[in-house]
């Protein structure tokens, strides 16, 4: 649903297998399955719980197949039971993420509702503070709508509750 670039290839393989080998069962293992163990207080966004639940807005995590393999491989290498393994693992490539594995299970991951959150990747921005995007859109809106040669914008930020710092930006047309 969220990794559109991956879904087309996966669905094509299912269709080919189904057409060429109709008696064969297809088994899907979703990349987010490894992260089902993330505790509720970590996977829950700091938004209205009713809105979050209604819209299934929560941290799902991705690269789970990779992390499942890493968990098994590291436990074997350390000659340690998986349920006693506590590591921070990284999946680095065109897509990148980090995962806290506690007791052999996902405890937290840098990816959230979609693979876009977290670390930047080849086609992903990673976490982006929305303010610069909104500010840029405001500046572009003003450039498109005001007919004057110069625009004066007063940006206000709170340095403290008692005083405000004001900056004036002059943007040429």
* Residue 145: per-residue pLDDT: 54
pLDDT at 102: 97
All structural domains of the chain with their residue ranges: 32-128, 131-172
Residue range 32-128 forms a domain whose CATH class is alpha beta
Q: Residue 136: which residues within 8 A CB-CB, separation 6 or more?
A: none
**The pLDDT of residue 4:** 54
**pLDDT score of 132:** 74
Residues 6+ apart with CB under 8 A from 30: 64
Of the candidates 106, 103, 110, which has an alpha carbon nearest to the alpha carbon of residue 39?
Answer: 106
Q: What are phi and psi of 137, to 5 degrees?
A: -65, -35
Could you tell me the mean pLDDT of each successive run of 10 residues in the chain, 173 residues long?
63 87 82 93 93 92 94 96 96 92 97 88 83 67 51 42 42 46
SS3 content of the chain, % helix, strand, coil (to 5): 40, 20, 40
Q: What distance in Å separates the CA atoms of residue 152 and residue 168, rounded to the nearest whole number?
A: 7
Residues 32/64, Cβ–Cβ less than 8 Å:
yes
Q: What is the pLDDT of residue 158?
A: 42
CB of 171 closer than 8 Å to CB of 151: yes
- Centre a 10 Å sphere on the Cβ of residue 133 and count the other Cβ atoms it contains: 11
48 is catalytic: no
Q: Phi, psi at residue 14, to the nearest 5°? A: -65, -45
Question: Tell me, what's the pLDDT at 163?
Answer: 41
Q: How many CB atoms lie within 10 A of CB 166?
A: 9
Backbone dihedral angles phi then psi of residue 58, each to the nearest 5 degrees: -165, 170
Phi and psi (nearest 5°) for 106? -65, 125
Q: Do 97 and 91 contact (CB within 8 A), yes or no?
A: yes
């Amino acid at each position: 649903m969220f990794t559109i670039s991956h879904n087309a290839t996966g669905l094509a393989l299912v269709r080919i297998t189904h057409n060429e080998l109709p008696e064969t069962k297809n088994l899907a293992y979703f990349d987010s399955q490894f992260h089902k163990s993330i505790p509720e207080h970590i996977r829950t966004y700091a938004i209205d719980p009713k809105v979050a639940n209604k819209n299934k807005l929560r941290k799902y995590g991705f690269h789970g197949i990779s992390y499942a393999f890493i968990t098994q491989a590291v436990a074997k290498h350390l000659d340690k039971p998986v349920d006693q393994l506590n590591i921070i693992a990284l999946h680095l490539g065109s897509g990148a993420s980090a995962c806290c594995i506690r007791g052999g299970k996902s405890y937290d991951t840098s990816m959230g509702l979609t693979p876009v959150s977290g670390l930047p990747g080849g086609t992903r921005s990673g976490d982006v503070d929305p303010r610069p995007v909104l500010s840029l859109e405001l500046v572009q809106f003003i450039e498109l709508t005001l007919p004057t040669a110069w625009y004066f914008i007063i940006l206000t930020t709170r340095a403290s509750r008692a005083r405000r710092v004001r900056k004036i930006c002059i943007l040429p047309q």
